[in-house]
């Protein structure tokens, strides 16, 4: 995974790789503001992959193993931007924005979701307009 030129990931590896990146973002955000907790990661995984809460928690455990072996977050994000198709990254970004916009969230929570989508998933802001409206 640490190769300078990332080749496309196998479709079965994409969910775990993107989940691992989301966990990395959650861990780093915890240092600044407890926003992206485990329950939020589970909710995003459940929504994106149509999983039950238990299945999402099990998937998160697999994602944690990938995250532990991955390079630093910026390098990992850049690598996944090259190795994972835009549609897969956009789908996760939409789920992240939808989960963070649902319920009792502050406007800065949605702004954080948009920032993560744009800077870690490399999703264009114009493509997130559906999430912003929702």
Q: What is the 3-class SS of the chain, one letter each residue?
A: CCCCCCCCCCCCCHHHHHHHHHHHHHHHHHHHCCCCCHHHHHHHHHHHHCCCHHHHHHHHHHHHHHHHHCCCHHHHHHHHHHHCCHHHHHHHHHHHHHHHHCCCCCHHHHHHHHHHHHHCCCCCHHHHHHHHHC
Q: Look at residue 101 in the predicted model and tell me its pLDDT.
A: 82
Residue 110 contacts residue 93 (beta carbons within 8 Å): no
Task: Note the pLDDT tens digit of each residue in 10-22.
Answer: 889 999 999 999 9
pLDDT at residue 130 above 80?
no
Residue 110 contacts residue 40 (beta carbons within 8 Å): no
CA atoms within 13 A on the CB side of 124: 4
- Once rounded to an integer, what is the mean pLDDT over residues 99-115? 76
Task: Note the pLDDT tens digit of each residue in 53-104.
Answer: 999 999 999 999 999 999 999 999 999 999 999 999 999 999 998 888 886 5
In this prediction the pTM is 0.85
């Amino acid at each position: 995974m640490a190769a300078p030129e990332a080749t496309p990931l196998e479709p079965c590896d994409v969910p775990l790789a993107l989940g691992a990146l989301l966990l990395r973002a959650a861990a780093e955000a915890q240092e600044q503001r407890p926003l992206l907790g485990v329950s939020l990661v589970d909710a995003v995984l459940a929504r994106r992959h149509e999983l039950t809460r238990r299945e999402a928690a099990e998937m998160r455990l697999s994602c944690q193993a990938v995250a532990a072996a991955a390079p630093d977050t910026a390098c990992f994000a850049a690598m996944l931007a090259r190795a994972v198709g835009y549609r897969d990254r956009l789908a996760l970004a939409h789920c992240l924005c939808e989960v963070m916009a649902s319920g009792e969230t502050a406007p800065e929570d949605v702004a954080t979701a948009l920032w993560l989508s744009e800077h870690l998933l490399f999703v264009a802001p114009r493509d997130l307009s559906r999430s912003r409206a929702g």
